[in-house]
Amino acid sequence: MKGTIVALDHYQGRMAAARIVDGKLDDLLIDPPEHYALPGAIFRAICDRPLKGQGGMMLRLPDGETGFLRQGKGLSPGEAILVQVTGFAEAGKAVPVSQKVLFKSKYAIVTPGAPGLNVSRSIRDEEERVRLLDVAHEVMGEGSEGLILRSAAADASSDEVGDDIAAMLELSQAVTGDAGGTTPELLIDGADTFALAWREWDQPDQLDDGEGAFERHNVPDLIEEAQSARVRLTGGAFAFVEPTRALIAVDVNTGGDTSPAAGLKANIALARELPRALRVRGLGGQIVVDFAPSPKKDRRQIEQVLRSAFKADGVETSLVGWTTLGNFELQRKRERISLAESLRG
C-alpha cells in the first residue's frame, strides 16, 4: 500500500508502534524492559562522587541506580539536583543524564531557566511564525521559562498549540517546584511508546490502533526482517549491518551487477538506506562502513548523499570521514536500545 501507516499494538507483551511507508518498515518503537530508565525521565538526584580528571559527577538515583553527569563542575557530594535522562545506559554503565531539563510535547518544548521564545527554523512562513509567537506570548507571560515551538505546530490550530504550551508550562512549574529534598526520587517518567509515536511522528495517512493492528499490516514479518543483518538495496545490491561489542560494522555488496558503475550505485543506495536501517534496528554509537569498491573521485558524491539522508533522519549523527583504508566512519547518538536487546529483555 502506498502512503504512511502507523500501527499501535503490543508485541511480545509490550507496547509497540510501527511506522510503515509504502509497505516498508520505516520506524519501530517498542517499550524497553522495565529495568531501563526512559529517556526524558526527570529525577531528583543526589551527587555522590566527582570523577577526577573527567569533570563529571556520579549521582545516586532511586532504587540503587547510578547516574552519570558529564559536566559536574561546582557540584558537591550530597547536593540534590534535577537531572533528565538523555539516553539508554549501556550494559553495566551508569544512566546518562543532563542538568538541562526540557519539557517536550508534540508542539512545544518548555525550557526552565532558559528564557526566550523561539520558533523552529523549519517553519519559514513569516505569517505563521508571527501567529505562533502571538500564541506563545499569550500563554507564557513573563515567567522565567523559555519556549521552543516545534515544526509540527505549523499544522495545528492556535487553540491546540496554546493548550499544549499551557500543559508543558504547568508540568514544568510543578516539577521544578519539587526539586527540594534529600533523597533520590523519580519526578516524572519518560514517554511510553504510544506517547512517543504521537509526539515524534507526523500525521499518517492511516492510523490503526485497534486490537490486531500489527497482524493486519504484516508488522511481525517486517520486524523479523529488521532482525536480520541483511539489508536489501535497489538494483539487486545488498548490505550487512552488524553490531559488534565495539562498533556497528556495515558491509556493502554489489550483488550480481558487474557493470563499471556497480560500486557507485550500490554505495549511493546504501547511503540513502542507512538511516532507516539503523533506526529500525535501534542502533547507534560508532559506525564503520566498508563501501563497495569505487573510484576515489566518487567519495564526495557518496558523502553528500549520506549527509542529506542523515539530515532528514533527525537523530544527531556526525559524519567523521574516510579512513586510510577507505572505510567511512560515523558517530550516531544512542537514542534507543537495540531491537535485539529490546526483544531479549
Q: What is the pLDDT of residues 186-195, one digit of tens each?
A: 999 999 999 9
Burial of 286 per CB tally in 10 Å (0-12, 13-18, 19+): middle
Residue 125 has pLDDT above 80, yes or no: yes
89 plus 111 within the same structural domain: no
Question: Model's pTM, two decimal places?
Answer: 0.88
Coil/strand/helix, residue 148: strand
**Do the Cβ atoms of 57 and 83 come closer than 8 Å?**
no
Q: What are phi and psi of 75, to 5 degrees?
A: -95, 150
- What pLDDT, on a 0 to 100 scale, did the predictor assign at position 128? 96
pLDDT tens digits, 206-236: 999 999 999 999 999 999 999 999 999 998 9
Domain of 16? 4-31+196-219
Residue 93 pLDDT grade (very low, low, confident, very high; cuts 50, 70, 90): confident
129 plus 147 within the same structural domain: yes
Rounded Cα distance, 199 and 134, in Å: 23
Residue 72 has pLDDT above 90, yes or no: no
Burial of 133 per CB tally in 10 Å (0-12, 13-18, 19+): middle
Vertex 39, ends 36 and 168: CA angle to 5°?
135
Residue 36 lies in a domain: no
338 plus 240 within the same structural domain: yes
Residue 186 lies in a domain: no
Bridge partner list, 6? 19, 207
187, 219, 251 - which closes a domain: 219
Residue 334 has pLDDT above 70, yes or no: yes
108 plus 97 within the same structural domain: no
141 plus 246 within the same structural domain: no
Rounded Cα distance, 28 and 6, in Å: 10
Closest CA to 280 of 232, 208, 236: 232
Rounded Cα distance, 43 and 28, in Å: 27
Residue 187 lies in a domain: no
130 plus 62 within the same structural domain: no
247 plus 311 within the same structural domain: yes
Mean of pLDDT values over 4-30: 96
- What pLDDT, on a 0 to 100 scale, did the predictor assign at position 1? 66
Rounded Cα distance, 290 and 266, in Å: 12
Share above pLDDT 90 across residues of the chain, in percent, rounded to a whole number: 78
276 plus 315 within the same structural domain: yes
Mean of pLDDT values over 269-295: 96
259 plus 331 within the same structural domain: yes
Q: How far is CA 334 from the centre of its chain?
A: 8
- What pLDDT, on a 0 to 100 scale, did the predictor assign at position 345? 62
Residue 125 lies in a domain: yes
69 plus 163 within the same structural domain: no
Average pLDDT of every residue of the chain: 93
Instruction: Find the CATH number of the domain harbouring 64.
Output: 2.40.50.140
Residue 327 lies in a domain: yes
Residue 110 has pLDDT above 80, yes or no: yes
Residue 312 lies in a domain: yes
Instruction: Find the CATH number of the domain harbouring 257.
Output: 3.40.630
pLDDT tens digits, 161-171: 999 999 999 99
231 plus 337 within the same structural domain: yes
Domain count, the chain: 4
96 plus 120 within the same structural domain: no
Residue 181 has pLDDT above 80, yes or no: no
Residue 189 lies in a domain: no
